[in-house]
Structure formats: C-alpha cells, structure tokens
Amino acid sequence: MNLKPPTPGKSFIAAVLLASMAAAPAKAGILGDMKVYSPVIETGVLEFEYRGGHSFDSDPAKNGAEAQKFSLGYGVTNWWFVEAYANWARDPGGSTHFDGTEWESIFQLTEPGEHWATFGLLAEYERVQNRRTDSDEIAIGPLIERDVGQTTTAVNLLLTRQIGPAITERGVGLSYRWQTRWRLLPQFQPAIDAFGEVGTIGSFLPLREQEHLLGPAIQGRFNLGSTAGNIQYNIGYLFGLTHESPNGALKLILEYELPL
C-alpha cells in the first residue's frame, strides 16, 4: 500500500505514542466516546464542537450518567488536524463535575479513492482532574473509511493505556467505534452506530462484563447562507447489548465549522 509519504513530524509522533503504549488501559467513559471519526481532513477549517452522552437504565447504578465535552480544533495541514477538549462528567446519582482535559490529533495517511479505503490515525492524550483516584490515558489507533454506493462505513479501532498517577487497569485496552450511514442528502443522513470496549488485550473481559452499544443515528450538515461556516449535527439513541452496558444511551454532537 502506498501511503502518503511520512514527514519527520508524523513519524516521530507515531513512534513516541506506540512506544508509550508498549510501556504501561484506562477505561474512558463510553458515553464521552460516542463519536466515529473520519480520516479525511479539511485544511484550514476551525471547528467548535459540543459532544454529550446520557445513560438510561432501571438500575440506579447505571442510570443518569453523563459526559459532556467542549472542544476547539483546526485543520493545520492536509494531513494533520489537532483538537483540544474540556470534559465534564456526572456519575449515576452524583453531580456534574469538571473531569479533565484532552488533546487529540488526526493524521490522514491516504487520499480518498487512492486505495480500497481511506486510512488515517487517531492519537489522544487525556489528563484527568482527579489526580488521587484516577489516571491519565493515551490512545492510538487506525481510522478506516470506505464508500460503497450511497453508503459510507467508518471504523475506528483504539488501543488505550493508563499512565498514572492512579493506575487502576494495567495492560493495553481495546475499544471500537463503527458507523454505516446512507448519504441521502447533505442535511439528512441516517446511520447505524456501534461502540464498545472489550477489555485488556490478551485478557478480554467476559462478554457480560464488556460494554457494547448499538443503535440508529441521524447526521447532516447545513450551510448558513450569508453567514460564514456550516453547522453539523449527529444525534442517536444506542441500545445496550450486554449486562454491563446501560439499557440505552442518548448522544448528541453539534459542530460549527468555519473555513479560515
């Protein structure tokens, strides 16, 4: 496969992250991770994003959990997009609190139509607010996207690792994000989304202890006419497939994209 020629910056970042993964998973809240990333980058676009998730369950221990993220991102080059997040969370029965910050980079490795799919790489670092009982986390993994007819399917596979200060899970964790959407109109594209966390590689959790969510979603993009930029939305309701998962989860993503 002929990928985009790697620059020293891209090679260095990927090498450092992979080396860190080999050295020391954290289980990030699945509610805050219900977004499927595309490897395709829009150069010179400034992005403001809100992302929220809320769980529903008859069990009070799984009902009412929330995750909310606010971010600012920018397409620096035709192969690199960078984004910074401020995260808030609420545990079942608890109150909303500031949960930490997150830095994220997307690297586009191939061009659409160059191969059977378009490939990219996602790298994340999350710094938690509670340094006494929680752990920072790094994540890295491939982004794959393929068009077939009027459908687009995107798959994200992420390796995660806790790096301290309060490590609660050791080893490298594995999670996935998947979406197939129908490109009916730019403003209205129905989809099926799936998200899951399976545990540590080499020692996966029993199926009933894994988290898996599956359900319908709708997304679209609206031009603002005489006002610069676009509004993009994604809303869905996911159903829990295992005992560990909540019965249901609502997700909402709103983005304002401003070309500079």
Task: Count the Cβ atoms, other than its own, within 10 Å of residue 9.
Answer: 12
- 260 residues of the chain, pLDDT tens digit each: 445 544 445 454 444 444 433 333 333 369 999 999 999 999 999 999 999 999 999 999 999 999 999 999 999 999 999 999 999 999 999 999 999 999 999 999 999 999 999 999 999 999 999 988 899 999 999 999 999 999 999 999 999 999 988 888 889 999 999 999 999 999 999 999 999 999 999 999 999 999 999 999 999 999 998 889 999 999 999 999 999 999 999 999 999 999 99
The two most distant CA atoms of the chain are separated, in Å, by 55
Query: What is d(CA 62, CA 56) in angstroms, rounded to the nearest whole number?
Result: 7
Query: Which residue shows structure tokens 């909402």?
Result: 252
Query: What is d(CA 18, CA 94) in angstroms, rounded to the nearest whole number?
Result: 36
Is 242 in contact with 231 (CB distance < 8 Å)? no
Q: What are phi and psi of 169, to 5 degrees?
A: -135, 125
Find the helix or strand (DSSP H, E) in which 248 lies: strand 248-259
